[in-house]
Amino acid sequence: MDIAREVLNIVVVGHVDHGKSTVIGRLLYDTKSLPEGAIDRVKRIAKEKGKPFEYAYLLDAFEEEQKQGITIDTTQLQFRTDKRDYVIIDAPGHKEFLKNMISGAASAEAALLIIDANEGIQEQSKRHGYILSLLGIQKAYVLVNKMDLIQYSEEKFNAIKQEMNEFLTSLHVYPLKYIPVSAFHGENITASSDKMPWYKGEPVLEAIDLFEKDKGLEGKPLRFPIQDVYKFDSRRIIAGRIEAGTLRTGDEILISPSNKVTKVKSIEYWVEKDKVDQISAGMSVGITVEDEFFNQRGEFISHTYDAPITSDTFKVSLFWMGKNDLVKNKEYKLKLATQEVECEIYAINKVIDATTLENLENASQAKTNDVAEVTIKTKREVCFDEFRNNQNTGRFVIVDGYDVCGGGIVTGLAQERQSVSKFVKQDDEIIVKCFDEYYYVVTEGGIKKIEGVPHSFNIGDVIPSTGVTYEYPAEFNVVDIKTGLTAIIRKSKLQDIILLKHLTYEQSPFIDSQGAFVKIHSEEDFNKFAADLEKLQQAESSRTAAFANQWLDFMKFRQIRYLTATKSLEIEYQI
Amino acid sequence: MDHLDRLEAQSIFILREAYKKFGKLGMLWSIGKDSTVMLWLAKKAFFGHCPFPFIHVDTTHKIPEMIAFRDRMAKEYNIELIVHTNQEALDAGMGPDKGRLVCCKALKTDGLQQVVTKYEFEGLILGIRRDEEGSRSKERVFSERNKDSEWDYTNQAPELWDQFKTDFPKGNHIRVHPILHWNEMDIWAYIEREKIELVDLYFAKNGKRYRSLGCAPCTGQIDSNAVTVAQIIEELKNTKVGERAGRAQDQEDSYAMQKLRKDGYM
């Protein structure tokens, strides 16, 4: 018994009537994967309904599906090649049943996207392509079906290939192959078609054997979301499935977000033969730990040196399947791994028309079948990873009422939208305007300030020491006249932030936070400036101008350039 | 991990989700190979314990060996067993002579519905598989039934990334299908690997054996000389006959199973 055989789940997607069920039916028929009588049964049904024989009837098992000739819900069927076993998932092509398409596609590792050669690329061809990219399914072939209807024309095939490729490439889905087929006539399904000698690639059946399975989840950082804690007997067993990584008896582990550290005491089992001292990704396991803290479902076990992200605000891409729109200021439930938490939509950053990839401007809600980029705020902190780092712990669903209405992937942590640039060291920060640019705008007849893109510079960050209208040296200091906090820039990097009075003079020039040169040329000047600054901070603000005129030279590191108009001008840091 | 390890791990994950989510949970045990494998998986999932009752809907038409095996195993595995019969229907003379689908509906579907109502189950674990027949191939792992156990199969809830449906109005229940993704061959290979004891009706006597078990009047035997699990696996590799070909109710009409299952059949 070859139980060690590999299994690959493939979803078949595409626009309605482009022939998804027919492709699968044909594959099953040609690989003799159907039980005796299945074809006879389908023939009988076709006859009863007074319709011609359709391979699709093999999959469209519901009476409603066969009557109307559409797939309502996804079907999973198995077949095998010499290389491995396949679970092939037939997904509905109707927009109305998109949620069923997504349910089917979510469990697949690879995809076949079917396009009708005669009709070309249609709305759902694109939407399904988009959803594949959101689900992280990178392995895809495009099957251009019904080639018989376009007389097996290479030219038309190439035109479809080019158009679809342009669309998919913009989504970072790179189809590995384009295969021209006629599923109904069996051309290029199991054997190369003599009707299309110009096609040099493999037929579908050979091509799917070339999909490579994902590997290496065991080697990723450990992620073990707690599913439940059992106390059926004297053991207190923490149960769950390892989503990534490997865990051994004796390992030191971190439990997040409660931040507790302990060690694995034992790996539990029922049958003696299941006893192991190492467990890894994909396994449903149970462990006991040395320190019996209060643990609960939802917490993440990781190694201490590779913890997941813990946050209550994060950015996601999601698809919405709900009857009601996705809106702000409404309570939803978020389910991520074994965590469940109340959440709300903090911001809708973008709603995308999945078929044109156009952004719907200022959308305040996502409607059913929309794709959106939003910021989610959860009631308490949750553990996760970015989807690109770990698929299993980087995706989630949103429940509205009783139903799962959305699914999405975490794209990153949300940062507060800031309006100013700053230098930051823990609690100390200096708001800086020294990277703003000044122009004399000819059409407006005056000097205009153009602010740089707001950004926070942390210790060690490279700063933009040279702009279009300013040029600071590689080593200088930025003093905040109001607070006396001074940023030390060395080799164009922010090295430290300390109070001026704690600073030792080192000859490198000083500027204020606006970018004006501070007229310090010697240690004597430095001491005098420090004393004047102290006085200024204690005195009335009316003396500021006098202080500035005495100490500051605005133009030392700047020049004002001429500009025709401010429009279309965008300043970017040159780092 | 090999193929069987992965199937097992997924089933255990599903069983643990069901146990965590449903206060009132029961597992249907038909005494057949699939639900006996589920019993084994439950013991593994909960480290030798079975923290919910097992339910047998007894039509009184079962093959006698099945009942003897049931009672012996319940003791050996130390499980809580609920046996229920739709006595009302039997008293009114229900049997396969009234029509197979009518009989199935009354003694199995309605019997099951009575159990759900009586014990107020929120979750019911069943051992159906996608490869058995068409309407099962379209099932969800967590599949909602309304208060009358009806299945709204044209409007199933999305199910992705193992985030199952656990929110539903009171009175409805969820059918949990932990081995939905297994096929017949997987079941036998797992039985062989784990050395799970089965009712001996599956093994050939006098050139005949049962491939699928149900009620005596509606379940046929197949020609076979397979007396071990290994021989059954070898036999299945070379057959082209469907697993449920011996189950008479399936053959009553093109959509027999869909119709039965819409009303709450397992």
CA distances from A211 to A29, A63, A240 (A): 21, 34, 30
Assigned domain for B241 exists: no
**What are the backbone angles phi and psi of residue A166, rounded to the nearest 5°?**
-60, -45
Residues A200 and A239 in one domain: no
Å from B60 to nearest chain A CA? 31
A263, A281, A303 - which closes a domain:
A303
Assigned domain for B221 exists: no
pLDDT at A136: 83
**Mean per-residue pLDDT, A143-156:** 93
Q: Specify whether the CB–CB gap between A399 and A342 falls below 8 A.
A: no
Contacts of A158 (CB under 8 A, 6+ apart): none
CATH code, domain with B49? 3.40.50.620
- Cα distance between residue A5 and residue A72, in whole Å: 31
| Paired residues of B54 in beta bridges | B27, B81
- Contact state of B167 with A402 under an 8 Å Cβ cutoff: yes
Which residue range(s) make up the domain with A44? 7-208
- Residue B160 is nearest to which of A38, A87, A106, comparing CB atoms? A106
Assigned domain for B206 exists: no
* A65: three-class secondary structure by DSSP: helix
| pLDDT level of residue A568 (50, 70, 90 thresholds) | very low
Residues A29 and A156 in one domain: yes
- Cα distance between residue B257 and residue B266, in whole Å: 9
Assigned domain for B189 exists: no
Assigned domain for A573 exists: no
Higher pLDDT, B85 or A54: B85
- Contact state of A404 with B157 under an 8 Å Cβ cutoff: yes
- Cα distance between residue B62 and residue B41, in whole Å: 24
ipTM, two decimals, is 0.91
Interface-testing mutation among B49, B195, B254, with chain A (most A C-beta atoms within 10 A): B254
Assigned domain for A245 exists: yes
Entry pTM: 0.76
Å from B236 to nearest chain A CA? 11
Å from A495 to nearest chain B CA? 45
CA distances from A563 to A105, A433, A516, A558 (A): 54, 20, 22, 15
Residues A275 and A354 in one domain: no
Residues A167 and A28 in one domain: yes
- Residue A63 is nearest to which of B6, B230, B258, comparing CB atoms? B258
CATH code, domain with A291? 2.40.30.10
Assigned domain for B58 exists: yes
Å from B138 to nearest chain A CA? 5
Q: Specify whether the CB–CB gap between A308 and A410 falls below 8 A.
A: no
The mean pLDDT value of chain A amounts to 86
For the segment A86-135, what is each residue's pLDDT rounded down to a tens digit?
Answer: 988 888 777 778 888 888 888 899 999 999 998 888 888 888 888 888 88
- Contact state of A87 with B181 under an 8 Å Cβ cutoff: yes
CATH code, domain with A112? 3.40.50.300
Assigned domain for A445 exists: yes
| pLDDT level of residue A575 (50, 70, 90 thresholds) | very low
Out of A40-44, A286-290, A342-346, least confident range: A40-44
What is the number of domains present in chain B?
A: 1
Assigned domain for A2 exists: no
Give the residues of chain B that fall short of pLDDT 70: 246-254
Assigned domain for A252 exists: yes
Assigned domain for B110 exists: yes
Show residues of chain B in contact with A36, CB under 8 Å.
Answer: 240-242, 245
Residues A166 and A52 in one domain: yes
Locus of tokens 């469940």: A340
Size of interface A-B (CB pairs under 8 A): 165
Show residues of chain A in contact with B16, CB under 8 Å.
Answer: 227-228, 239-240, 284
- Residue B47 is nearest to which of A44, A106, A232, comparing CB atoms? A232
Show residues of chain B in contact with A44, CB under 8 Å.
Answer: 254
For the segment A480-512, what is each residue's pLDDT rounded down to a tens digit?
Answer: 998 899 999 998 889 999 999 999 999 999 999
Residues A122 and A167 in one domain: yes
Show residues of chain A in contact with B12, CB under 8 Å.
Answer: 284
**Mean per-residue pLDDT, A253-257:** 92
What is the number of domains present in chain A?
A: 4
Which residue range(s) make up the domain with B58? 3-183+251-263
Assigned domain for B227 exists: no
Residues A44 and A106 in one domain: yes
Å from A77 to nearest chain B CA? 7
Assigned domain for A569 exists: no
Residues A322 and A238 in one domain: no
Å from B92 to nearest chain A CA? 32
Residues A339 and A385 in one domain: yes
- Residue B2 is nearest to which of A4, A230, A405, comparing CB atoms? A4
Show residues of chain A in contact with B51, CB under 8 Å.
Answer: 232
| pLDDT level of residue A302 (50, 70, 90 thresholds) | very high
Out of A144-148, A439-443, A474-478, least confident range: A439-443
Residues A433 and A556 in one domain: yes
